[in-house]
Structure 1
């Protein structure tokens, strides 16, 4: 079913017939708080706008219909997992260019007010006890989903659990301690879990249910437990237990992963974001639906076919992907890593999730830009990844399938080769699918959706909650509880690796020297669990929240961004002098593509005040009882 997007327009529908009383008459043409909450459908219509949280751009994991770089990709860009193409688009947290927040910054209680109005009227009307409990549980779900993001950004936050008027004392109260707020969030989620009803026949199949609540408990409790642990707040064991319990229950309900249809490596991983309908797809708990012939199109695939897409991956993140044998690229026992001195060798024998996230290299004959005329070159190496990604039905029709090579733009104009290097400046005239690093991110790219210049016509659904994340939550949670065993690895990480055709994690083989490039201050098994999370959820916005809760933001964000190894003749711009980590103009003929200077050597770098967002100064001016987060 594709109903969530359409129901946003139902806000304007009358919320129910007015109750009539001989001594008190209310407006007959428009609902009021006193008349709106009378029937089951009144509550349903009133709560539908809350589904907008899942596309709200202030939440880094949202699945907005707009440019992905303004939503899903941004969380991983902030974490320095990804980078942007422009020469002035350095990571703002590495270069200390985060602007002071006068207003906004995610400080918003609009949804909370809407939900509180509904909860204040939960006993109105003629609902049964089960129906009242159901809508209270749905209200608690959305309330907690929004509040967990407020806490994630600001730490201490006002706790508003009733509708406030302009003269209410609570409206001008102080922030409440994070530990108190998160305990209250967990209590409400647990109540919702126990009391939500099974009303899918009335609400619709793709709506909030118990499994959605369990998914949020899994995410929220892991996030809060590890934040409390690694930021020395204490009292986190119960959160780990709740994460383990909720995750395990969902794992039993969703035992199967989506394995895809097109036969390319890790196609189930890739197709999760490029499938027309996610209804009935294994492992999908809730999804955002997009439609043809309505206003609710998505343009994520379209934009990745154009020159406007500017998300790419730096070399240090490419290096995080394992070889298919399950070993880090610089593990001394890894004999299959082919090095990184050519694009073809960099991708060879690697975790196929790399191919599904970064466009692999290729070259075709013919005049680049011809549409659709092209043919294979005489060199078999040039078609290695064309074949790996899945054969085209014909050289004259490359637009069949999910991810297919050679790449093309929205009009089916074929690109002659990848990497397609750009200089990243405003005067750059490079064609579509270009980037500076050489590693063009194409997570949402496919070749079956309808695209037209400047028109978002894509209709593939996007997952909101899926079992893949829950498996990773459970694995990390079990390590934090001291209970991560080979059995846990097999039911979580190794399930994900089986789908990707990557060798299993063997816990006993992971010692201090397993990954010489890893953060040596992190337990090596935990490092591998975190690596798996990074790879599996790449491009979905989790990165910034993860590196903050681990208290490891500096390690990830202070790394210098540079691109693939290239010959100087292939690019406009500089190569990287590895001795100084600066641009080199002294005659280097080949090297890593220079993107930005080393932020730390340039006197910048992560500031600990960034772990929490700035409370907007306008809010403090309006309410002097609010205090500011440290450092701002």
Structure 2
């Protein structure tokens, strides 16, 4: 039922439009005023609809906004998992180009905080029943807390604003409260909301804030805060781990089934999560963004059929994907065939890779209307066409369809992958073109209506697994309850915990305790839990939150960004090979083959991740307006 999220876009511009424009704006004097608007249940429902825009607000990394490269991909680009294909698209954290900001930067108390505080201030005066009042208080606490989750993650210490302010409020010149204090208040509010929210889906609609949504937010927030406190050496994190485990277990009981998909492809349920028209019918979905034709269509799929889509994956991230036998490519038993051509790189890999990056193929380019093309006659060229299932029509062929050969926005054939370059449609410099939102049934941008997940059980399983390891309670039983459910759907061999030792992946990642510039290797089992999280949630915006809370940002970001292995003769004229000794493009031009050069090694250039990036800068204008916000976060003064 495509209702609440559709109405939101309209109502946010009509209902009390002034309150979103300025922290101190007054409402217009019309027949609908603050004094008479907050009386009935429907009044509160209508007023709170615009808060659902929080899930498409691009400040939040997991947002499902208008274009993936401006929303849910961006957090993984910042984390170093993904890249910008443009020649000047280097990682701004790797090359220290994150400039000082005067305003913005996510420092915002006017939209969601003010709106929820305004609503909460009128609950007691309404004509609603006590149960209805508790319900809307819980909904208000959810949205207030969800925005504070972002404020805490960005800035650490922030002011706590839990009441409606005016121009005379002392709080306008208030100090930042310690992160721990604010986080504890957020936790307290979410737990109150969990206990008091009512079952009013008949009034609110089926895809609205519920107890399960609150529990999903609690699971995410509690793990994020616990591990931030642990790895940033703040202490007092056990209660948060316990809370993550508690609510995650409740959700796991309520959502025992993963979506297997309908398309008959490997890992179809994984891929279709982002390419299905109605997620209301999909098991494991807790809350989702709804789209409808000609009302609130999105361009998420359309963009990935055009030359404007700039998201690609680098070789280091491709190397993180396991083989189908459950072994990392560095393991002697992995049966990995090497990366000297893309076909070998992708062969027998975790099928989730195929739903994230377009697999390799080659065809004879046809003329006229799709699908007039034919095979080359070389069996190797069709290997992944057969795995994914060949296209048969450009009309609406079915739910979640990812097929080869790929098409552009007008259904013109893409004759081969990899397709190197930056100008033509469905091309990239690394060779690993990201197509998470791509399907073959939404080519008209006005009709891009595939729903997008906001909360789903897959994330909760990963939260639970990680929290259980942090508590010292992760074992084979927990692995079977969590990671192995995900692997079974993906077609990857199960994790066997007792097989994982220091030699399971000798190239596993490092974290960087304060003052340690060399780094410490992550525990082998924990690394496999984190690997599973990276792969399962790839392209969904969790990356920059994760690498910062784990204190692993240097390991992911301070690398030479490189593409696939190529022969120089097959490269476009404006592209070069990487000289791995210098960390730069081949300076002599004498290399005959090698990895595609993307960007220089940041460390060679004297750059790289700075510890100050773990927290964002408070905008300078905000400190000018309120000097009590000073000092700025470490390194930003």
Same fold at TM > 0.5: yes
For normalisation by structure 1, the TM-score amounts to: 0.94
Question: Which among 625, 634, 637 is matched to residue 622 of structure 1?
Answer: 625
Q: Which residue of 2 aligns with 1:479?
A: 469
The aligned runs of 1:262-281 (5 Å cut-off) are 262-281=263-282
* Equivalent residue in structure 2 for 1:434, among 420, 424, 427: 427
Alignment CA distance shift 1:592-1:27 (3 Å): closer
1:580 pairs with one of 582, 586, 593 = 582
Offset, 1:43 = 0.5
**C-alpha distance 30-605 of structure 1, shift in aligned 2 (>3 A):** same
Matches within 5 A, 1:332-481: 332-334=332-334, 336-366=335-365, 371-393=370-392, 402-422=401-421, 424=422, 428=423, 431-451=424-444, 455-481=445-471
CA contact 2:410–2:443 (8 Å) conserved in 1: no
User: Structure 1 residues 511 and 92, CA, compared in 2 at 3 Å: closer, same or farther?
Assistant: same
Aligned counterpart for 2:605 among listed residues 599, 602, 606: 602
**Alpha carbons 1:4, 1:288 under 8 Å: kept:** no
Please name the residue that 1:20 is paired with.
Answer: none
CA contact (8 A) 1:175 1:626 kept: yes
Equivalent in the alignment of 2:635: 631
Cα deviation, residue 35, structure 1: 1.4
Cα distance in 2 for partners of 1:124, 1:3 equals 28
2:547 aligned with 1:543:
no
Distance in 1 (alpha carbons) for counterparts of 2:126 and 2:567: 73
Query: What secondary structure does 1:153 align onto?
Result: helix
CA deviation digits over 1:174-216, x for unaligned, max 9?
A: 1000000000000000100000000000000000000000000
Helix, strand or coil: the match of 2:595?
strand
- State the shift of 1:332 in Å: 1.3
SS of 2:594's partner is strand
| Cross-structure match for 1:21 | none
CA contact (8 A) 2:365 2:415 kept: yes
Aligned equivalents of 1:136, 1:397: Cα separation in 2: 46
Distance change in 2, residues 1:480/1:407 (3 Å): same
**Partners of 2:391 and 2:405 within 8 A in 1:** no
SS of the aligned residue for 1:35 comes to helix
Q: Does the 8 Å contact 2:365/2:413 carry over to 1?
A: no
Q: Counterpart in 2 of 1:165?
A: 166
User: Which structure 2 residues correspond to residues 180-259 of structure 1 after superposition, within 5 A?
Assistant: 180-259=181-260
Match of 1:137 in 2: 138
Aligned to 1:19: none
Once residues 469 and 188 of structure 2 are traced to their aligned partners in structure 1, the CA distance between those partners, rounded to angstroms, is 24
Task: Please identify, of 409-418 and 384-393, the stretch whose mean Cα deviation from structure 2 is larger.
Answer: 384-393
Q: Equivalents in 1 of 2:13, 2:53: separation in Å?
A: 15
Give 1:579 deviation, angstroms: 1.9
The answer to which of 359-368 and 219-228 deviates more is 359-368
Q: Residue 450 and residue 342 in structure 1: after superposition, are their counterparts in 2 closer, same or farther (change >3 A)?
A: closer
| More moved, 181-190 vs 513-522 | 513-522
Instruction: Give SS of 2:585's match.
Output: strand
Q: CA deviation at 1:29?
A: 4.8
Gaps spanning 5+ residues in structure 1: where? 16-25
Superposition deviation, residue 397 in structure 1: 7.9
How much has 1:27 moved relative to structure 2? 10
Cα distance in structure 1, aligned partners of 2:466 and 2:29? 55
State the alpha-carbon separation in 2 of the partners of residues 527 and 28 from structure 1: 58
What CA RMSD, in Å, does the superposition of the two structures yield over aligned residues? 1.7
Q: Does 1:85 align with 2:85?
A: yes
- For structure 2, list consecutive stretches of 5 or more residues without a partner in the other structure: 17-26, 511-520
Please say if residues 399 and 412 of structure 1, whose CA atoms lie closer than 8 Å, have aligned partners that are also in contact.
no
Contact 2:395 2:441 in 1 (8 A): no
Which residue is equivalent to 1:147?
Answer: 148
Once the 2 structures are TM-superposed, how far is the Cα of residue 33 of structure 1 from its aligned partner? 2.1
Q: Mean alpha-carbon deviation: is it higher for 360-369 or for 467-476?
A: 360-369
* Whole-angstrom CA distance in 1 between matches of 2:184 and 2:395: 57
Task: Quote the offset at 1:611 in angstroms.
Answer: 0.2
Deviation at 1:582, TM superposition (A): 1.6
